[in-house]
Amino acid sequence: MARLTQNQAERLLDDGVLSQKSYKELQERGMIAEGKRQQRLTIMHTESGKKVNPTLVFRGGQGQEDSEKMKALRNEFWKLVNKYDETNLNQSNKGESKNE
């Protein structure tokens, strides 16, 4: 059976397709990949036009399992990054001023 990515499993959990209990069971069985990094490069530009990539890092927790608060913060962080991701902006937003 194929494994779910961390992102896919969290989406199913958020959408109510998976219960918290089922999510934990799948994790324990190794059916949810351990990868936690964002796969797609998110691009934003500085005022001078240099490309930058926003990141979120939890220092000091290497090798430790994320708490529910950490997972919630990561999800909220990526929702916010995706909102401002310049590679995802639709055509109507591209003509707007940078100084809004």
Q: Which residues contact 51 (CB under 8 A, 6 or more apart)?
A: 43, 44, 45
Helices 20-28 and 6-14, packing angle to 10 deg:
160
Q: What mean pLDDT is predicted for residues 45-54?
A: 88
State the Cα–Cα distance between residues 38 and 34, nearest whole angstrom. Answer: 12
Hey, which residues does 52 pair with through a beta bridge? Answer: 44
pLDDT for the residue numbered 37: 54
Q: What mean pLDDT is predicted for residues 61-78?
A: 87
pLDDT for the residue numbered 89: 53
Residue 67 DSSP SS3? coil
pLDDT for the residue numbered 40: 59
Residue 10 in this model has a pLDDT that exceeds 60 = yes
Q: What mean pLDDT is predicted for residues 12-34?
A: 85
Domain limits, the chain:
1-35, 38-89
